[in-house]
Structure 1
Amino acid sequence: MKQFHHIGLPAENQETPIDGEFWVEGGKLWLTNPDHHPQRVEWLRYAPGHDRDPRFRDHPHICYEVDDIHTAVEGKTIVRPIGDMGDPPFALAAFTGEDGILVEYIQVTGKRRWFDAPLEG
């Protein structure tokens, strides 16, 4: 399974808070939940002085949810290796470089589907 999950867009104004954003300590950024946007946009706003790779901070990415992240990224150019997503973790995530853009793959493993989502089951 490979299904579109969201498009991640850096906020135009990194200093202005966005409605519905929340802080993600592990990433040192604020982001929004794409489940709450009609076009499934995840807005990203980085903390001042953030040392994130400019490819993430300055460019959009597309994200797919997959059922096997290892198979999904096999043979691709890895930009950020597979790692836990969230605290506590709810997914595995990795970024690849494909056709000149960043592509994120996530495999949901926990009992919630996003950073701010309620626990399921």
Structure 2
Amino acid sequence: MNSLRLEFDHVGITCHEPQEDETWVEATRVWVTNPRQHPQSLEFLRYEPDSPVTGPVRERPHIAYRVPKGTLEALLEAADEVLLEPWEAQKDVVRVAFALKDGAVIEYMEYMGDPNQWFPAERNEL
């Protein structure tokens, strides 16, 4: 897995203020923005107090990479630590997992559908 070159997807940054055009992710109880709409591919994440996400995923920025189908588990085996096991963040579109690798929080994104698709437009009222 060391020779596999991954494709950049976005950088995720935790914030505490509501953002424009947030969408809700029930599994992790977090509001997220669409990095495809940001000029620097930034995703802002705003966790609800009862979110099950803790530790480095919630407290530190992450970098997300698109991974080829069938490589997610092998990448996690090569990680220093698995922070969040794989789950379907968007049904039939993308499986994600978070890991520590070389001191960085990494999100691995295995797209099953269109990698340019983002979450449905469930918006927070600002």
- Measure the CA separation in 1 of the matches of 2:75 and 2:118: 20
Where in structure 2 are the equivalents of 1:1-121 lying within 5 Å?
2-11=6-15, 14=16, 16-67=17-68, 68-76=71-79, 77-86=81-90, 88-111=91-114, 113-116=117-120
- Measure the CA separation in 2 of the matches of 1:81 and 1:49: 19
TM-score norm. by structure 1 comes to 0.81
Per-residue CA deviation, residues 80-117 of structure 1 (Å, 9 max, x unaligned), is 1222222x341111111112221010110135632138
CA RMSD for the aligned pairs?
A: 1.9
Deviation at 1:63, TM superposition (A): 0.5
Deviates more, 1:52-61 or 1:65-74: 65-74
- Measure the CA separation in 2 of the matches of 1:35 and 1:50: 24
Q: Higher RCO, 1 or 2 (CA under 8 Å, sep at least 6)?
A: 2
Q: 1:98 to 1:48 in 2, by over 3 A?
A: same
Deviation at 1:71, TM superposition (A): 3.2
TM-score norm. by structure 2 comes to 0.78
- Measure the CA separation in 1 of the matches of 2:13 and 2:111: 21
Contact 1:95 1:105 in 2 (8 A): yes
Q: 1:93 to 1:18 in 2, by over 3 A?
A: same
Deviation at 1:7, TM superposition (A): 0.5
